[in-house]
């Protein structure tokens, strides 16, 4: 039997990933596909989409792993090839997927059980879903002496400047979906009743905003910043604040080579040999050792 706390946290994760209304999302996906293929929306197919197993399966799979939807459309839906859509992200408050949210919750609960001191910080917030889960776990365990830090430009990814990032132009002129302003994030958090004085914002480019920020000890550091330059800036500014026994999570290690390169270089420079634990195909984590 699930406790009330478990039920609350499950509901938060489902809401963040928009898992509660798969029928609506299937209909949205159908209309987006029609638009992408310059096809008119057929009202009969629009209503059938609610029960379309292939659409629902594609959405569920993408939400589980935090990945792009791979569609196998039933004949009649669209006539041309499928486009590569990021639909699941368009309708959710986090793009990280279920496995990474479950793991994030487990990390915080382990930190609380083991009394690892410090706050929780995410660098690379987007619509704020992971920060909301962090805040919700603190609330569910009635923790009042830790805060969640939400660090972001709130203007998307910077233009590539580091040599390793040049093949990965992700800035707002190319990927505007990654640019979410702070007011929008705050409004989303308010809807969940998770915006209060235990949620703190650190706006600005990591390269400038983190070095002198008034952040004390950290028990959890979640980096979701895509690029070499962004990932490196966070590691250089904050890793020394992570307490022994604290968790560091690198969201893009498995899929973005510049991020992986930055992490490998940092670990080498700082003689960090703790094994990386894979969470899914995208993300890895390790627990900081003493010394």
Q: Footprint of ligand SAM on this chain (CB under 6 A)?
A: 94-96, 124-126, 129-130, 152-153, 156-158, 178, 205-207, 224-227, 230, 233
- Select 78 or 104, whichever has its Cβ closest to ligand SAM: 104
- Considering the complex, what minimum distance in angstroms separates the CB of residue 255 from ligand SAM? 11
- Considering the complex, what minimum distance in angstroms separates the CB of residue 202 from ligand SAM? 9
Closest CA to 55 of 36, 35, 37, 82: 82
- Considering the complex, what minimum distance in angstroms separates the CB of residue 235 from ligand SAM? 12
- Select 45 or 279, whichever has its Cβ closest to ligand SAM: 279
- Select 87 or 230, whichever has its Cβ closest to ligand SAM: 230
- Considering the complex, what minimum distance in angstroms separates the CB of residue 149 from ligand SAM? 13
- Select 35 or 208, whichever has its Cβ closest to ligand SAM: 208
- Considering the complex, what minimum distance in angstroms separates the CB of residue 254 from ligand SAM? 13
- Select 28 or 121, whichever has its Cβ closest to ligand SAM: 121
């Amino acid at each position: 039997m699930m406790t009330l706390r478990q039920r609350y946290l499950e509901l938060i994760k489902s809401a963040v990933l928009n898992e509660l209304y798969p029928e609506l999302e299937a209909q949205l996906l159908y209309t987006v596909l029609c638009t992408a293929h310059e096809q008119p929306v057929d009202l009969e197919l629009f209503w059938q989409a609610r029960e379309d197993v292939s659409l629902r399966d594609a959405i569920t799979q993408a939400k589980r792993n935090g990945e792009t939807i791979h569609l196998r459309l039933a004949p009649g839906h669209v006539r041309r090839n499928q486009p590569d859509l990021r639909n699941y992200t368009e309708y959710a408050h986090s793009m990280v997927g279920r496995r990474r949210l479950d793991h994030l919750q487990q990390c915080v609960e382990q930190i609380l059980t083991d009394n690892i001191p410090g706050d929780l910080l995410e660098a690379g917030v987007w619509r704020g879903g992971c920060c909301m889960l962090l805040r919700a776990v603190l609330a569910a365990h009635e923790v009042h002496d830790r805060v969640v830090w939400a660090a972001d430009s709130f203007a998307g990814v910077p233009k590539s400047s580091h040599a390793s990032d040049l093949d990965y132009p992700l800035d707002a002129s190319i990927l505007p979906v990654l640019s979410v302003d702070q007011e929008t994030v705050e409004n989303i958090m308010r809807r969940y009743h998770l915006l209060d004085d235990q949620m703190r914002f650190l706006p600005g480019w990591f390269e400038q905003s983190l070095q002198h920020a008034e952040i004390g000890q950290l028990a959890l550091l979640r980096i979701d910043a895509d690029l070499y330059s962004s990932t490196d800036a966070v590691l250089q500014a904050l890793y020394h604040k992570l307490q022994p026994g604290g968790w560091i999570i690198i969201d893009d290690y498995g899929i973005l080579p510049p991020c992986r390169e930055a992490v490998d270089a940092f670990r080498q420079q700082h003689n960090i040999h703790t094994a990386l634990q894979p969470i899914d195909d995208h993300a890895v984590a390790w627990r900081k050792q003493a010394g």
